[in-house]
């Protein structure tokens, strides 16, 4: 099989086995990350730089018992199996989009107020799937990455996912201010269980724009019509991002672990 087919086979097998997918388990994410799919001895897995990205999965009948010694991200329910071989990787936040159409109660007070501030101060904005020019999009991504500093992921990957890659299964929305300038990008993909909210890019120096962009994402008619929960990923080690997501009232916040068997 080709590398791409092995990636698809892995995700299909995980769905068949009803595994709890983590944030990184989607075809567009794996494809853009140039991760290799492997099928051998009745097993399938995906690997990168000496690590299995996720636990190997059996396909058909096999007499070979296979368990990788290094796994970068366990499934979403791996927090139940903590031992000396497991190391905390990141949080994983799950949200219900329908909750953002109501936002009733004291637990929503902070986010409810904050998500309304940017549009009140910046009327006549537009939010749609009209792609900006590559220069304008690249400039916004560059400014955003510089602001994130050590908490930024791979810049090239983010740029491809946010604006450059033309790959089925990647969805994007763009926010423009009154002057028609790009100030925000939302991007997402899906797997068999979740919509994966990949990217929320906002122009630095725009107070409360991040809250508004997330509100726009969760109340998008396409997101609501999908009738799926959203995996909003983790915090990348940022205590500020953790506090931010906690205020959005996730329905689930669990630990994702890496695995490395000691010798």
* pLDDT tens digits, 93-105: 999 999 999 999 9
Using one digit for the tens of pLDDT, what is the confidence trace for 219-241?
A: 999 999 999 999 999 998 889 99
Residue 261 belongs to some domain of the structure: no
Q: What is the pLDDT of residues 45-71, one digit of tens each?
A: 999 987 899 999 998 776 666 768 899
Q: Please name which of 62, 7, 67 lies closest in space to residue 37, comparing C-alpha atoms.
A: 7
Q: Are 198 and 188 in contact (CB under 8 A)?
A: yes
Last residue of some domain: 61, 91, 121? 91
CA angle 98, 103, 105 (to 5 degrees): 135
Measure Cα distances from 116 to 99, 120, 187 in Å. 16, 6, 21
Question: Coil, helix or strand for 12?
Answer: helix
Q: Is the confidence at residue 40, as pLDDT, over 70?
A: yes
Asked if the structure places residue 236 within a domain, the reply is yes
Query: Which tokens go with 70?
Result: 């290094």
Bridge-based pairing of strands 229-231 and 70-71 is unpaired
Domain that holds residue 176: 93-254
Q: Where are the alpha helices (DSSP H) in 72-220?
A: 109-121, 134-148, 155-159, 209-218
pTM, full prediction: 0.92
Q: Which residues are paired to 70 by β-bridges?
A: 260
pLDDT band at 81 (very low <50, low <70, confident <90, very high): low
User: Is residue 262 a part of any domain in this protein?
Assistant: no
């Amino acid at each position: 099989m080709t590398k791409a087919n092995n990636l698809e086979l892995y995700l299909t097998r995980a769905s068949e086995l009803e595994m709890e997918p983590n944030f990184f388990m989607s075809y567009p994410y794996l494809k853009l990350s140039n991760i290799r799919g492997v099928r051998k001895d009745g097993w399938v897995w995906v690997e990168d730089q000496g690590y299995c990205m996720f636990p190997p999965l059996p396909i058909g009948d096999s007499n070979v018992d296979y368990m990788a010694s290094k796994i970068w991200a366990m499934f979403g329910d791996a927090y139940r199996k903590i031992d000396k071989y497991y190391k905390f990787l990141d949080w994983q936040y799950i949200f219900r989009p329908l909750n953002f159409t109501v936002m009733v109660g004291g637990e929503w007070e902070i986010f409810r107020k904050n998500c309304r501030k940017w549009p009140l101060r910046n009327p006549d904005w537009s939010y749609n799937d009209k792609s900006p020019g590559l220069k304008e999009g690249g400039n916004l991504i560059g400014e955003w990455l510089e602001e994130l500093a050590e908490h930024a992921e791979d810049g090239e990957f983010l740029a491809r996912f946010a604006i450059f890659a033309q790959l089925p299964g990647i969805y994007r929305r763009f926010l423009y201010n009154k002057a028609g300038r790009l100030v925000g990008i939302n991007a997402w993909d899906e797997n068999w269980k979740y919509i994966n909210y990949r990217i929320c890019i906002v122009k630095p120096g725009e107070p409360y724009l991040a809250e508004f962009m997330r509100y726009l994402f969760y109340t998008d008619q396409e997101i609501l019509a999908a009738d799926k929960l959203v995996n909003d990923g983790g915090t990348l080690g940022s205590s500020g991002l953790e506090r931010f997501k906690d205020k959005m009232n996730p329905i689930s916040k669990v630990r994702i672990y890496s695995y490395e068997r000691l010798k």
